[in-house]
Amino acid sequence: MLKRDISFTFAGSALQMLVVLATTALVARLLGPTGQGLLALAILAPTIAITFARLGQETVNVIYGGLYKEKRPALFLQSMLLIVPTSIVSILVLLAFYFWLPVERGNFAKLSPTAIYASCLLVPAGLLLAMTTGLVRGLGKVRTNVVLTLVQCLVNLLLAVLLVAVLKMGLIGAILATILATLLGGLAALWVLREVATFNPASLDKGFWLRSLRYGLWVAGADFAGFLVYRVDQVMLAFYVPSAQQGLYFISASMAERLRMLPTSIASAFLPRLSNQWQERRGQVPLVFRYSLVASLLAVILGCLVGPPAILVVFGWKYFGSILPFLILAPGIVLMSTSSILSSAILALGRPNYNMLTGWLTAVANIALNLILMPRIGIVGAAIASTICYAGDCLCGIIFYRRLTKIPLAELAPRLGDVRAVTRIAWEMARQGLRRLRGPSIGGGGGLADNQSDHPAGGPT
């Protein structure tokens, strides 16, 4: 079952990557590097707010939704109750930064009031999407979550074509496309959750809510630190480089993050299974980590060969300056993404404080390195600082996981047999993908129909 979930998630992620790449290329070509840089900033500020305003509830829904099946209605209701107050506070903070506080805003000051007000609408839509999809995964509906995400990406592409390419709405159209697609994704997830959806206050359990809130706050600290590790460079670039350079760096990071597809797919499929079947799955963590690391390193090699010409073909020669930062970012992003396997296991062990410590150590180091390198070598310095810190994040994950489990380091070190196994699995996944493209075989389910196995009657396979 886990292998089929990973295979399905990977196939869905591959399709998502193509759709997101098409959307990014369309918008980047129409807006140009300067407009792309402003779009990145317009989306970045509310995304930071969403990351903090979730209060870790998204991960609580994944973990507790698997561990405490009878509490799923309570998880749904407490998630819904968090959205309104946290959205209001987040929007007020954003407006204070943009209009009220006497602070330096860098390239953020180049955003028009209309773009700012529009981007604030992303906060409630993003919170709804995060809360609901987290609980969808907590219910064990891994494949359903993949389909929801893919549909959201497709809607975003269609809206970008309509609003940016056809109606020529420029930056505002790109922002609105993102908001509407996010909102639709959240509403679709609500429909999936109708079996546990309730607004009856009697379903709340004060003790359970306080316990999950404490757990969530630890997760929130880790999530916010992790977001800083991934995005603090883009925030700081707003004060050091022109908007056009920021647009080039956004494309570099966007392309490099496509290489996260495999480890992210594995972690996304593995965490719900880990929380739902902890005793059966905990022994699989080292093996899954090794396979993910081997596959990711192979993906980096391929990505570094294909990525540079792909940037020129997809985005055009005006994005030539994105190539060097992409090559620098690629190895680090994959290492950090692979460590998500270990951070998932640490969460399932009930120790989110370790992930928070890892995140903040890495975030502080990233800020310090960016302060040293960014003023001197701009977006290349930002890429170097990020890759060093991504590798450090992976190292911290290994250290803390070993401390909690006492597992020998050799169990986490890749070996030749892992390379052969990953190659064999990749070939089998490719064959299954081709078989699905040709249609379901006689007597066997295929494609999305496999989603019926989200709740298997038997044990793990």
Average pLDDT over residues 251-257: 89
Average pLDDT, the chain: 85
- The closest of 21, 7, 12, 82 to 311, measured between CA atoms, is 21
pTM over 0.95: no
Q: Which residues make Cβ contacts (< 8 Å) with residue 437, sequence separation at least 6?
A: none
DSSP state at residue 139: T
- pLDDT interval class at 284 (50, 70, 90): confident
The mean per-residue pLDDT over the stretch 405-434 comes to 77
* Pair 89, 99: CB distance under 8 Å: no
CB 414 within 8 A of CB 402: no
Place of tokens 């089998």: 428
Copy the structure tokens of residue 116. 């700012």
Given this model, what pLDDT does residue 450 score? 36
Instruction: Please give the DSSP secondary-structure letter assigned to residue 163.
Output: I
User: Percentage of the chain surpassing pLDDT 70?
Assistant: 85
> How high is the pLDDT of residue 303?
87
- The pLDDT value given to residue 384: 96
DSSP assignment string, 256-278: HHGGGHHHHHHHHHHHHHHHHSH
Give the pLDDT mean for 391-420. 88
DSSP state of 196: T
Q: How far is CA 237 from CA 41, 190, 232, 379, 381, in A?
A: 10, 37, 8, 7, 10
> Does the CA dihedral 71-73-76-77 come out positive or negative?
negative
Q: Provide the b/e sequence for 73-99 (b: ≥16 CB within 10 Å).
A: bbbbbbbbebbeebbeebbebbeeebe
Q: Please state, in angstroms and as integers, the Cα–Cα distance from residue 404 to each residue in 29, 349, 351, 398, following that order.
A: 48, 8, 9, 10
**Residue 457 pLDDT class (50, 70, 90 cuts):** very low
Query: What angle do the packed helices 72-95 and 206-237 form, to 10 degrees?
Result: 40
Buried b (16+ CB within 10 A) or exposed e, 161-199: bebbeeeeebbbbbbbbbbbbbbbbbebbbebbeebbbe
**Angle, alpha carbons 194-195-197 (nearest 5°):** 55
> What pLDDT sits at residue 456?
32
Q: How confident is the model at residue 440 (pLDDT cuts 50, 70, 90)?
A: very low
Residue 280 has pLDDT above 80, yes or no: no
SS3 category, 430: helix
Amino acid 354: pLDDT: 87
pLDDT at residue 365 greater than cutoff 90: yes
**8 A C-beta contact, residue 38 and residue 112:** no
Distance, CA of 446 to CA of 437 (rounded, Å): 9
2-6, 61-65, 117-121: the lowest-pLDDT one: 2-6
Average pLDDT rounded to a whole number, residues 225-236: 84
